[in-house]
Each structure stands twice: as structure tokens, then as C-alpha cells.
Amino acid sequence: MPDVWLNHHQSQQESILVAGGAWQLSTLATLVQEIDALLPQISTNKLCIECEALKSLDTSGAWLLQRTLLRLEENGTHCQLKNISPEHQTLLTYVQEYGQQQRKEKITNAWLTDSLISIGRSFLFSWNEALRFIAFLGHMVTTTGRVFKNPALMRVTATLHHMEMVGMRALPIVSLTAFLIGVVIAYQGATLLKQFGANIFIVDLVAVSILRELGILITAIIVAGRSGSAFTAQIGMMKVNEEIDAMRTMGLDPMIVLLLPRLLALVLTLPLLTFIADFAGLAGGALISWITLDINPMLFIQQLQTVIAPSTFYVGIIKAPVFAAVIALVGCFCGFQVSGNAESVGQRTTTSVVLSIFLVIIMDAVFSIFFSEIDF
């Protein structure tokens, strides 16, 4: 008889494993091979492990027996130990309790470790992205200085093309959105002001909301989602197709060819889009004021001229070039950061839109606080 053995008997109702010999560290390798060979043969949902012939059991053997029980339980097999001596049962119970404690600690530590790793990676990625963006800004500034010294480098045709794409073709969606925003503000304000008999103040509410904040904010968000994403996708696909490398090979600067026309086009057109959005928003507010509060358009315009200072209009217009520069720079930067495959284009396009809108909202809050502090 060998030092250790494991026999398998199959019946209709249950399977029987007979464990015998010395389950110790010296026989562990033999036991592992036998167990791996026997487990696939067990086809019933009930298993009895007969331990009467088990002569000796150390910690290694108890660990192997416990691991075998866990594997069987995971496969849906109910296991039962029979005729195991009290000493062996005590050792096996200790190994089971220690294993459960270790698994709990491993799960807890894994969750904590994974969370810390994720936070660390996100921080490092954001830090590296910020450094690359700063370097990108520096490159853009030096390139702009070269163009100012030599205006012939500026691509006027490309700039006009992008002005049409980001300006003229964005007019319908910007106008409609601003008009509907004006309608919503006026309608909600009218419901409240009716209760106090202050119908005429609907003009103040609509004008201040649209001219100072919502006109430029809605326009910038639409442009970020429409044009900023387009900049990223266009430049990103050019990088995937190695067109940017071809430009450098031909002696062309991608910053002059790709970035500056888009940047200049957006800086010039966003104030115009903001002006149109302001007009559309006021028109929507005037329409609802006429319908719900019986304030005709002429009275609306007279009240508008009386209560609204020119600075209210200038606040929104001043923000427009700054927001345009942020949207264009973020969109082009994300395009240049595409790593060379279509998946990266999609990821960078999403990043471009989210980051542009986030920065626009932050800068709008900063502008609002600044203008309030200087009473402008």
C-alpha cells in the first residue's frame, strides 16, 4: 500500500472518496495530481469523503483537503466528511477559519488597493495632460508670434472656410435653442410675477438672464459640442492616417495649417453667434410676455431700453472670445493627442466636449464673480 491514496466509488445517489495514508507535505505533490484527475469524474450532487483510513494530517494536507472541498462546493456538489478523527477535525476547522479570514481581508484590501490605484492613475493622467496642454499653449504662442512677424504664413482661405463651418452653419441650432431658452425663462417668470402684479419686470428677468449669462453660455456649450468635437475628430483622423506626419515631411507646420485657422475662426464667429443668440432669446421672451402678460413688443422694447444698461450686453460679448479660444484650443489639443487608432479618436472627442464645457462653465462663474465685484 502506498504512503497516500485517494480512491473513488460512484453510486446512483452519491459519490464516495476514500482518503487514506499520510496527507503531509511530503506527499502533497502526489495528492494534487490524484485530486485533479478524480474531480472531473464526480458527476453527482452529493459526495462523501471517507477519512477512517487517514493515518496522519498536517497543515499542508488540511489545506489541500479544504481547497478540494471548496472546489467541489463551487461546482454545486454537497460534501460530507465521515469518520474523521477529532484531532484531524480540529486542524481542518482551524484551516477553514483562517482561510475565510484571509479571503475577507483579501477582498477588503483588494477594494481599497484598487480604489487607491485608480485615484492615483487618474491624478497622474490629469497631471500629465495638464503639463502637455501647457506645452501646447506655449507652442501655440510661439507659432502665433511667427505668424504676426510674417502674415503671409496665415491661411486666410482656411480661416474663412472654418468661419462658415462654425459660424454660418451653427446659426439655426443656436438661434432656435436661444429662442426656446427665452420662452422658458419668460413663461416661468410670468407664472411667478403674476402673483405679485409685477408683470412689467418680466423684461428685466429675461434681459439680464439672456444678455449676461445664458446667451453666451448656451452658445458656447452648443459650439463646444458641435465645433469643438469636430476639430478633435478631424485632426485626430488626420493623425491616424499619418497626414500630420506628411505635413511635417513637406515642411509645413501643423500648428499654422490646422490650429490657427480654427482658433481665429472661432474667436471671430462666437461673438457674432452670441449676439444672434441674445436677440433670439429676447424675441422668445417678448413673445411669451405678449401672450401671457399682455406686454406688447413695443412696450417690451421701451422697458428694455429703460432698465438695461449697455454693460449688461457687453458682459456676454466680452466672454465670447475667451470661451471661443478655450473651445478651439481644447478641441485641437485633444485632436493632436490621438494615439493612432479609431478608438482613440472617439475617446479624445468625448474628452474634448466634456472638458470644453467644464472649462466654459468654470470660466463663466469666474467672470460672473469678477463683474459683480467691480460692479459692471
Is residue 105 assigned to a domain?
no
Judge if 215 and 72 occupy the same domain: no
Pull the grid cell for residue 125.
493622467
CATH of the domain at 63: 3.30.750.24
Judge if 255 and 367 occupy the same domain: yes
DSSP 75: T
Give me the pLDDT at residue 99, please. 67
Task: Write down which residue in 59, 84, 109 finishes a domain.
Answer: 84
Judge if 69 and 180 occupy the same domain: no
Task: Write down which residue in 25, 57, 84 finishes a domain.
Answer: 84
* Residue 36 pLDDT class (50, 70, 90 cuts): confident
Does residue 105 carry a pLDDT above 80?
no
pLDDT digits (tens, 9 = 90+) for 245-266: 898 888 888 899 899 999 999 9
Is residue 107 assigned to a domain?
no
Judge if 300 and 222 occupy the same domain: yes
- Looking at every residue in the chain, the average pLDDT score rounds to 85
Does residue 310 carry a pLDDT above 90?
no
Pull the grid cell for residue 86.
477529532
Segment among 38-42, 140-144, 184-188, 229-233 with least mean pLDDT? 38-42
Domain residues for 359?
Answer: 154-373
Task: Write down which residue in 84, 100, 123 finishes a domain.
Answer: 84
Q: Which is nearest to 348 in space by CA: 261, 220, 234, 253? A: 234
Q: Average pLDDT for residues 286-306, to the nearest whole number?
A: 87
Judge if 60 and 181 occupy the same domain: no
Domain count, the chain: 2
Evaluate whether 236 touches 343 at the Cβ level (below 8 Å). no
Name residue 8's beta-bridge partners. Answer: 17
pLDDT digits (tens, 9 = 90+) for 48-97: 777 777 778 888 777 777 777 777 777 777 777 777 887 877 877 777 77
Give me the pLDDT at residue 365, please. 92
Evaluate whether 235 touches 258 at the Cβ level (below 8 Å). yes
Q: Which is nearest to 181 in space by CA: 192, 173, 170, 169? A: 173
DSSP 83: S
Residue 37, burial from CB neighbour count under 10 angstroms (0-12, 13-18, 19+): exposed
Judge if 203 and 75 occupy the same domain: no
Judge if 235 and 349 occupy the same domain: yes
The rounded distance, in Å, linking the Cα atoms of 201 and 178 is: 20
